[in-house]
A and B are shown apart, each in its own frame.
Chain A
Amino acid sequence: MKIGIRLTAILFSVFIATAVCAADKPQVPQLDVGKGGQCVEDPKLMRKIHMNLLKHQRDETMHKGIRGQKYSLADCVECHASNKTNSVLGSNEAFCQGCHTYAAVKLDCFECHTSKRKVTAEASK
């Protein structure tokens, strides 16, 4: 019984050690930032709290009709949609999809919201 426990502990430690050594250095996804430029907030802050900002803004818009504010999702997409595909989804380099796939966090927004920037009639000519 005691040997069994010791053996399991040793095997377990060996397994963990192997896994740690074999793991690659974390690779931050290379994102297509679309139009790029100055984001409404610092990127490090955005990575941390963009969900909270969006959640607060959605309630303001939905229930109080306040539109066109700083943290508007439509404006995020407008800037960050890829210049090639006009979308924030579609590949693991796409702005939203890239990090969300890497972090394995479900992207719920685009079940309902369009992931494409608004292309005006003039621009599409």
Chain B
Amino acid sequence: MNEVNLDTKPNLDRRDFLTKSSIGLAGLAIAPGMMLFDLAHGRAQDEAVSNKVRWGMLIDNTKCESGCNDCVTACNTENGLSGGTKPTDSQWIRKVQLKDTLTGHVSSLPMMCQHCEHPPCVDVCPTQASFKRADGIVLVDKHICIGCRYCVMACPYQARSFVHEVLTDQKTEVPRGKGTVESCTLCVHRIDKGGTTACAEACSKAGHEAILFGDLNDPESAISKRIRSVASIQVRADLGLNTGVRYEGI
């Protein structure tokens, strides 16, 4: 076995090196242009998502206005939610009023599915209906959700809602149905078309600019630049979930 010369091919090392390094150099030259191209045109709709992108949001607590509910209203309209606040009504995003128990400082912020990198809801789902898409969005595949509500129990942010009644007139892009669990989809139907989330859009329109949506994996995106320059935290960072939604000013 030791005598056989395994290297029966001609020595390609040098050729290989030259080929690879020239491709690399060419790539480096063209890449910035291609990246801009990608950003400008987004992912083609027949192309699978990849983990090159990680969608996230940065919410500025100092800019969030206490009485404003525009993000909630926008989410309800976009996704066909009733907007009701009965204990059995679904709420994908909610405004939480915070009061620091020691200082008495009052503020508010929107809370929704945090799109964790290590989602507890995905770990506990018996059917893998709760899953994380390659680009970081945590979704419920309602085709296979059996409605056991274990994910609702497991979510640290109480982000999930269970559909308690028969639904009609759903939005075409947002199927929702009785007996399944749902939560903020990061407006996946809009993002897949290159858009932004409804809540971020509404907050901009209202002039508060408290919600910033973008690609966390792209160092040149607005959100990446901002989280590099301004201190931001994850809610319940002690759980080590690496959420896609971060908050500044808390």
Contact = CB atoms under 8 A, between A and B. Distances in A.
Direct contact between the two chains A and B in their complex (CB within 8 A) = yes
Interface of A: 58, 62-69, 74, 77, 111-114, 116, 118
A67 B169 CA distance: 21
26 contacts: A62-B139, A62-B141, A64-B134, A65-B43, A65-B45, A65-B133, A65-B135, A66-B46, A66-B47, A66-B48, A67-B45, A67-B189, A68-B45, A68-B46, A74-B173, A111-B177, A112-B142, A112-B167, A112-B170, A112-B180, A113-B170, A113-B172, A114-B171, A114-B175, A116-B169, A118-B172
Main secondary structure of the interface of B (DSSP, over half): loop
B105 interface: no
B188 interface: yes
A74 B48 CA distance: 19
A66 B47 CA distance: 6
B175 A112 contact: yes
A110 to B, nearest CB: 8
Given A65-B135, A67-B189, A112-B177, 18 more contacts: A58-B143, A62-B143, A64-B134, A65-B45, A65-B48, A65-B188, A66-B45, A68-B45, A69-B46, A111-B179, A112-B170, A112-B175, A112-B180, A113-B175, A114-B169, A114-B170, A114-B175, A118-B172
A74 B47 contact: no
B178 interface: yes
B57 to A, nearest CB: 18
Interface string B191-203: 0110000000000
A67 B131 CA distance: 18
B49 interface: yes
Contacts of B177: 111-113
Contacts of A66: 45-48
A47 B187 CA distance: 33
Nearest to B135: A65
Given A113-B170, A114-B170, A64 B48 contact: yes
A58 B131 CA distance: 14
B140 to A, nearest CB: 9
B115 interface: no
Contacts of A58: 143
B246 interface: no
Contacts of B134: 64
B141 A63 contact: yes
A8 B53 CA distance: 72
B172 A74 contact: yes
